[in-house]
Amino acid sequence: MNKGKAAIVGAGFVGASIAFSLMLDNALDEIVLIDIDKKKAYGEAADIAHGVEDTANADIYAGDFSDCRDCNIIIITAGRGRLPGESRIDLAEENIRIIRSVTDSLGRYYNGCPVLMISNPVDILTASAEHLLGQKEGIVFGSGCMLDSSRFKRCIARAAFPEDHKSQSECGRNINAFVIGEHGDAQIPLWNGVSICGKSADEYFAEHKILWNEVIRQSISNETKNMGASIIKAKGRTNYGIALCAARIARAVVSDEKFIASVSSTMGLGNEDIKASLSLPSVIGREGISSRISVDMSPCEKEIFEKSAEGMKGILRNSL
């Protein structure tokens, strides 16, 4: 039984890390790396292929856009990365031009499969790619706040299990929490939806007699928001965390898993020609995003969400 095929556009640190994660995940039969630097794509594909003979059996190779004609998912990582001190929005104009080039090159080879946007600013580029490819809502979507949600859970876990490193590492099983909205400074951690071991955060911390107040919540929110910048300051880039997220999404697509994650799409965010793309908990499967899960937002959270959408549409109108 065929498991599926993925193309990764962009063989830089992030694209290569995603290829490596996909290979180890063993959910695909075929992985093709596409890059304007063909030697780089070849080197990354060969390096991965030579090192995992006994742990995975996918065929990985360097190719071109014609190899996308039979893909189950296309993952776009092309674009300039964020430098220390830059915001993701600072990349918008330059990376929209790159995404336009990618969609033009994809052209007649595109078969309508889900397209996962990784490049930043991911929300703006997701909306751009959907517009340029002329696809319906949910086929093109971005990693969005999936990584932010994982960081959010990790921070909550340190507070909830202060001396239990095993439980901290299993936060995906013990903690349900989402970050929504913009993948950036205006992200929204949904505190009223946090549950720990099946109990609300307030109930859990009270029961275990662990200090829990607004100061701690704000500290966790800030740490979650600033985590990407702190990693870039420390090592120059982020690549492993997002690679694991991309591999998890790819597995959900090729297996039609109906996996839920806070990813970015235009679904339900208006009927204008130019639409914003923001993250909400979404059901991911073979056709991309099939539906989004409604969440309760406070008036303040809703205002931040809507302001992000309007700001994004302003950038897109000036760029597309």
Per-residue pLDDT tens digits of the chain, which is 320 residues long? 678 999 999 999 999 999 999 999 999 999 999 999 999 999 999 999 987 667 778 999 999 999 999 999 999 999 987 777 776 677 888 899 999 999 999 999 999 999 999 999 999 999 999 999 999 999 999 999 999 999 999 999 999 998 877 777 777 789 999 999 999 899 999 999 999 999 999 999 999 999 999 999 999 999 999 999 999 999 988 999 999 999 999 999 999 999 999 999 998 776 677 789 999 999 999 999 999 999 999 999 999 999 999 998 888 888 77
Write down the pLDDT at residue 270: 67
Q: Is the peptide bond before 121 cis (omega within 30 degrees of 0)?
A: yes
> Quick check: is 208 catalytic?
no
The residue to which tokens 């950038």 are assigned: 315
Burial of 291 (0-12, 13-18, 19+ CB in 10 A): middle
Residue 250's nearest CA partner among 149, 127, 114 is: 114
Write down the pLDDT at residue 88: 65
Length of the chain measured in residues:
320
Write down the pLDDT at residue 267: 82
Entry pTM: 0.94
Q: Which of 50, 165, 183, 208 is catalytic?
A: 183
Contact 118, 77 (CB under 8 A): yes
For residue 255, the cross-strand partners are: none
For 144: left if phi > 0, alpha if psi spans -120 to 50, otherwise beta; the answer is: left
Helix, coil or strand: residue 42 = helix
Q: Which two tokens stand for residue 312?
A: 């994004």
Give the separation between CA 285 and CA 113, rounded to whole angstroms.
11
Q: Which two tokens stand for residue 297?
A: 């937002």
